[in-house]
Structure 1
Amino acid sequence: MSAHVDHIREIERVRAGGPSDRDPTVVQSWLRCLHAHRLDPAQACEAYIVPEARLREHRQQSEDLIAIARSGLEQLYRHIAGQHYVLLLADRQGVAVDFLGDPLFNNQLRKSGLYLGAEWSEARAGTCAVGACLEAGEALTIHQSDHFDNTHTPLSCTAAPIYRADGELAAVLDISLLSSPIQKTSQKLALHLVTATARRIELANLMARNRHEWVLRFAQSPEFLDVDPEAAVSIDGSGRILGLTHGGARILADAAGGDWRRADLLIGQPLVHFFDLAVDDLPGLTRRRPTRDRVVRARDGHILFAHAIEPQNRPAGSPVSRRRDLPEPLRALGGGDPRMVALQARAAKLAPKPVPILIQGETGTGKEFLARALHEGSSLNGAYVAVNCAAIPESLIEGELFGHVPGAFTGAAAKGRKGLIEAADGGTLFLDEIGDMPLALQARLLRVLAEREVTPVGASRPRPVAVRVLSASHRDLGRLVAEGRFRQDLYYRLNAATLTLPPLRERQDFDWVLDRLIERHGGGRLAIADAARRALRAHDWPGNIRELDNAVALAAALCEGGVIETADLPDHVQPAGEADDARRAALAAVLRDCGGNISEAARRLGLDRTTVHRQMKRLGL
């Protein structure tokens, strides 16, 4: 209690203008908390986790950043494994949109706010590493009693900003401990690691967004120029600055005597404004020359080593319209339906990235086909291993996934068995119907994803694995999380990105899908009568593409003369005759009375517009 009182008194002294031994960034943050945010140091503020819906919005808005940052976060987490650090990636509002920590301490981490969805804005939590970093725009450590709120004083948190290519602060990378040594200097290594990781994430983002432009990377030493550059800028064909990393902004500002915080005054300026260098000189700074010879002089006299990366050939056309430029496996998923075109373009961007993807969609929409297409569109050399979590008995799924050593249990193979996770090493593990995985196994899977290692049943030592995880479910996993039937931490580990397949009844390329299936089952020698096509079009397809595939297979087997007629179709998709005629007449009458106004017809019938549209389609209106 006395420590709490002393902490409050120190903050009050700072309010009154008294001296303090704290870092200036801490003092400035305390003053903002007091004057701008009107926070009371005597009023405890527990850690705040945003509601599920808000977290989903924050993650969707940060999806591209999460995808790019994930590799850097995992690499950093491996460096600090076993030291009880937690990694948070927070967005511009201070909400943690990604998280890496030991699942064994989830309850403690959540209570302390070192968890997915925690809001660490300064206005919400007082002085903290994420909030202070967002305000200051620079890397810093908020150690124990540096925190404004006494609730957070056990924590030691270090954060570094991540800037977009336009110079705007996009996110904060935070590395924290629930408890740490008293000395603040103990976190110097953490400060170095988090700053280096943020720099690499910025560089990866700049490279990803400027493939078709010149990129100039800088280092103080030639030995690190090609392997770990300190800064980078992108340059257009006319020699003007297009984008930059945080380090790049500092170099340009120093060279021209400007302010690195005003990136808008740096972007658009010609390269010669900052360096004794023009765009025509860039080819001489590529890897064709030794690193020691790639020297540039800034306008302030500063000497740097530089590496110029040539632009890739720019493809013609927009991403959505260029279906022919999609990888073949992804192109084969749709025939021009707008929702499928958007999904295909999005999947093409995600396929080569290591980000885990959750595929959602009703049963039979083609989730496994999409998963395989994502694998084939990646650069992974390992196998594609699919696991149907709903099809394997609960008593066997642990051994199937993790494998076992010889004699691990009664009936175990004498030589042991490699599990499916290990079989996917270097490739893709597709977990179909992940919502049906038992809770106990969810915890084990979470550890595999966090630690990148798997321990077979009966083994004493783990084995390293590197797998790209895709998962799918026809169930609403968010609802399962709310009901306590699916682990929240695993849910967010699996869906850094989400792809949702539309149901067949809502797709505008139904005829394209039908024709592909007829071609597959008929080998190019099968046709379909117009009446049979209309009957298939009118069906609601609750089983989606899988149900349509079965219907075409049956019709192909029954038809004569190479033409599918309505009589060849399954009974449940054949026209209903007089009953349908009566429904058609009734609906037509309501539509006529409403002057064709669908909304008014829906109100009179007590239905929604979508249902009315569906009935009109089925009845040929």
Structure 2
Amino acid sequence: MISTESHVKEIERVAAGEHSGRDTSVVQSWLRCVNDYKLDPAEAQDAYIVPQAILREHQEQAESLIRISRAGLAALYDQIAADDYVLLLSDARGVAVDYLGNPRLDDELRQAGLYLGAEWSESRAGTCAVGACLVSREPVVIHQDDHFDSTHTRLTCTAAPIFNTHGGLAAVLDMSQLSSPVAKTSQRLALHLAKATARRIEMANLVARTGDDWVLRLARTPDFLDTAPDAALSLDGAGRITGLTPSGLDALARSLGFAIDTPQALIGMPISRLFDIEIDDLPAFMRGQPAGERLLHANGEPLLFASAISPARRPAPKTLAPRSTSPNALAAMHHGDPAMQTLARSATKLAARGIPMLIQGETGSGKEILARAIHDEYNDGGRFVAVNCAAIPEHLIESELFGYVANAFTGAARKGRTGLIESAQGGTLFLDEIGDMPLALQTRLLRVLSENEVVPVGGVEPRPVKLRVVSATHQSLRDLVEAGRFREDLYYRLNAATLSLPALRERQDFDALLAHMLGEIGACYGECYRLTPDAARRLARYDWPGNLRELRNALEVASALTDDGVIATRHLPEAIIRPGATPDIQAQLAECDGNVSELARRLGVDRSTVHRRLKRLRAAR
């Protein structure tokens, strides 16, 4: 690695037009940094982490892709974690909306910008893997002093683009290390893994969005046609192409010498113009036929192998009681459980009148899902804005909620900023963990609810707001009121109606819910998953302290581990296989070096659940 002074001089020589032995992608990025962004390589800049409120906005907009990507990222991380790689999923603006890394390196990773919320756009960070990939739309390795900013020259970063089903750039997958071997060739495997995972995510995204369309998966050989195809297309009932996996299709076309100008140009094209096939021929390419016989032809010549998936036809959910009259989003929350059906009917009637609601339930029981369902069914065009009152630092929560005017305090944006409450105008404000809101802010929130107006920090003029307020907590607000930690008048304002979500272990529709979740996961990855009888029994007998969230995580992991779609007992988490042998939570915490966040990730539960278990354990002793 060269010195900072030599690094700066090399960039200056390249900017002056001198030849460089570095990769073309690096040279082009350096030139953009100097000529387009007016960055100075001599002025080092620390990594930038966006504020929590801004991160939530980015995550909300990328919510579907984050969910679809999670299993692929987890599988990749399992392969590379031992080498202290970090995985970042950055959106199309360069902000890391999902992250997997070693908790023991948290402080170093955050300082280096290899962390959740880090912005790696080229215009801010200079030459970096995420930024260069966003501009070039090509996989790239930015190794050590390939970076423009000397702050980042010890890092090695490998990135691959993730495109949406119409060819638009949706995200970037980045694999990074704080330090690595000097040779750039050491990252060849990282580049291969990043590209392969990006294609897998594109495939899952296509299958998840097909609806009533066919999916035609393509491969050069029949060996992995049904499990790891090279590319895929979605087709409507008339045989027109409605979506595709751009990265895989482009690579497949190049390897075969098959003429495709751009993958995007195929949207709307009849499949018969690409291959010697019509929509009615697709059933012959479905599973059940020998893979070696599912051969696609073009212009009479054999070209590649294909596997067809028929349109998803999801049966209506089974019910144990008369059908609910509630709208679809609320009705979809239950699968026959009488308590959930009653709750959905109550939520329907209350939401139609805009009555404030308080949702109570254990961690992971679906409080935000219920709030979103209420919003989806009764929405006047406004946004759903979720605020976790326990996650925002106390010194930031006031400006995050209420916004601020220009120059309200040191470090404030010059134009001020709209708060989360005002940004929910015409929609729904969801206040999660409302019991953790500081007392001083409870007074200000009460004014918002009673006067329908908000005053930004540093401002004097109130701004009118009209929104629905839904709150949630796992605590007893009545107990908090009696303890003097929650305002009684705010309690009654928020608690006009209470909706109590049952814990998963109390629900009577567990089997139907389990089947529904497996169907959703299978649709994401183009697979059909089923449980062995013993695995199903163990899932049904488990206590589920993490509720729906823990169940979803367990099924995501189990489905990723199976090779043939059959989830056996060995694929389930250890806590489910041997619940009586679960280690003491304090011992588990010690294994995580006291890091509560890491333990929560291992258990598949929220941090607040870990804190509650520790508190109960101490009280019992």
Length-normalised TM-score, structure 2: 0.59
Query: Quick check: 1:122–1:131 contact (8 Å CA) kept in 2?
Result: yes
The C-alpha deviation readout for 1:542-584, integer Å capped at 9, x for no partner, is xxxxxxxxxxxxxxxxxxxxxxxxxxxxxxxxxxxxxxxxxxx
**1:441/1:306 CA distance change after superposition, 3 Å:** closer
Displacement of 1:320:
4.8
Residue in structure 2 matching 1:385, options 529, 543, 567: 543
Distance 2:45 2:302 in 1: 48
Distance 1:93 1:372 in 2: 43
**1:33/1:369 CA distance change after superposition, 3 Å:** same
Asked whether 1:8 is paired with 2:8, we answer yes
The C-alpha deviation readout for 1:135-181, integer Å capped at 9, x for no partner, is 11121110001101111000000011111112211111111000000
Displacement of 1:7:
1.1
Displacement of 1:257:
3.8
Query: Quick check: 2:96–2:117 contact (8 Å CA) kept in 1?
Result: yes
Per the alignment, residue 179 of structure 1 pairs with: 179
Per the alignment, residue 447 of structure 1 pairs with: 598
Distance 1:322 1:111 in 2: 42
Distance 2:326 2:223 in 1: 38
Per the alignment, residue 321 of structure 1 pairs with: 328
Per the alignment, residue 345 of structure 2 pairs with: 335
Query: Quick check: 1:89–1:99 contact (8 Å CA) kept in 2?
Result: yes
Displacement of 1:312:
2.2
Q: What is the number of residues matched between the two proteins?
A: 414
Per the alignment, residue 309 of structure 2 pairs with: 309
**1:157/1:322 CA distance change after superposition, 3 Å:** closer
Displacement of 1:440:
11
Q: 5 Å matches for 1:329-478?
A: 329=337, 330-335=340-345, 337-338=347-348, 343-344=369-370, 360=433, 361-362=472-473, 363=475, 365-369=499-503, 377-378=513-514, 379=518, 381=536, 382=539, 383-387=541-545, 422-424=574-576, 443-448=594-599, 452=602, 468-469=604-605
Displacement of 1:9:
1.6
Per the alignment, residue 489 of structure 2 pairs with: none
Query: Quick check: 2:330–2:344 contact (8 Å CA) kept in 1?
Result: no
The C-alpha deviation readout for 1:453-512, integer Å capped at 9, x for no partner, is xxxxxxxxxxxxxx6436768x9x9xxxxxxxxxxxxxxxxxxxxxxxxxxxxxxxxxxx
Q: Describe the SS at the equivalent of 1:337.
A: helix
Displacement of 1:8:
1.3
Q: What is the letter of the counterpart of residue 180 of structure 1? A: S
Per the alignment, residue 17 of structure 1 pairs with: 17
Displacement of 1:86:
0.7
Displacement of 1:331:
3.7
Displacement of 1:23:
1.0
Query: Quick check: 2:295–2:302 contact (8 Å CA) kept in 1?
Result: no
Displacement of 1:253:
7.0
Overall identity of the aligned pairs, in %: 47
Distance 1:387 1:315 in 2: 30
Query: Quick check: 2:276–2:300 contact (8 Å CA) kept in 1?
Result: no
Displacement of 1:81:
2.5
Distance 2:235 2:25 in 1: 34
Per the alignment, residue 208 of structure 1 pairs with: 208
Q: What is the letter of the counterpart of residue 333 of structure 1? A: L
Q: What is the letter of the counterpart of residue 95 of structure 1? A: V
Distance 1:162 1:31 in 2: 25
Q: Describe the SS at the equivalent of 1:228.
A: coil
**1:178/1:129 CA distance change after superposition, 3 Å:** same
Per the alignment, residue 159 of structure 2 pairs with: 159
Q: Describe the SS at the equivalent of 1:333.
A: helix
Q: Which runs of 5+ in 1 are unaligned?
A: 349-356, 389-420, 428-433, 453-466, 478-621
Distance 1:109 1:337 in 2: 43
Displacement of 1:246:
1.9
**1:371/1:147 CA distance change after superposition, 3 Å:** farther
Q: Describe the SS at the equivalent of 2:186.
A: helix
**1:375/1:140 CA distance change after superposition, 3 Å:** farther
- C-alpha RMSD of matched pairs (Å): 4.0
Query: Quick check: 2:231–2:252 contact (8 Å CA) kept in 1?
Result: no
Displacement of 1:385:
2.9
Length-normalised TM-score, structure 1: 0.59
Q: 5 Å matches for 1:267-278?
A: 267-278=267-278
**1:89/1:236 CA distance change after superposition, 3 Å:** same
Distance 1:320 1:35 in 2: 55
Q: What is the letter of the counterpart of residue 597 of structure 2? A: L
Q: 5 Å matches for 1:440-589?
A: 443-448=594-599, 452=602, 468-469=604-605
Displacement of 1:248:
5.0
**1:228/1:4 CA distance change after superposition, 3 Å:** same
Q: 5 Å matches for 1:91-240?
A: 91-240=91-240
Q: 5 Å matches for 1:41-80?
A: 41-80=41-80
Query: Quick check: 2:160–2:195 contact (8 Å CA) kept in 1?
Result: yes
The C-alpha deviation readout for 1:267-297, integer Å capped at 9, x for no partner, is 1111112112111111111112111111113
Query: Quick check: 1:256–1:273 contact (8 Å CA) kept in 2?
Result: no
Displacement of 1:345:
9.5
Q: Describe the SS at the equivalent of 2:82.
A: coil
Distance 2:11 2:301 in 1: 44
Displacement of 1:3:
1.5
**1:375/1:9 CA distance change after superposition, 3 Å:** farther
Displacement of 1:449:
5.3
Distance 1:259 1:20 in 2: 31
Query: Quick check: 1:252–1:266 contact (8 Å CA) kept in 2?
Result: no
Q: Describe the SS at the equivalent of 2:162.
A: strand
Structure with greater Cα Rg:
1
Q: What is the letter of the counterpart of residue 287 of structure 2? A: R
Q: Describe the SS at the equivalent of 2:83.
A: coil
Q: What is the letter of the counterpart of residue 345 of structure 2? A: G
Q: Describe the SS at the equivalent of 1:173.
A: strand
Distance 1:103 1:439 in 2: 13
Query: Quick check: 1:216–1:309 contact (8 Å CA) kept in 2?
Result: yes
Query: Quick check: 2:139–2:195 contact (8 Å CA) kept in 1?
Result: yes
Q: Describe the SS at the equivalent of 2:11.
A: helix
Per the alignment, residue 494 of structure 1 pairs with: none
Distance 1:441 1:223 in 2: 41
Displacement of 1:300:
11
Query: Quick check: 1:375–1:384 contact (8 Å CA) kept in 2?
Result: no
Distance 1:441 1:79 in 2: 20
**1:79/1:233 CA distance change after superposition, 3 Å:** same
Per the alignment, residue 441 of structure 2 pairs with: none
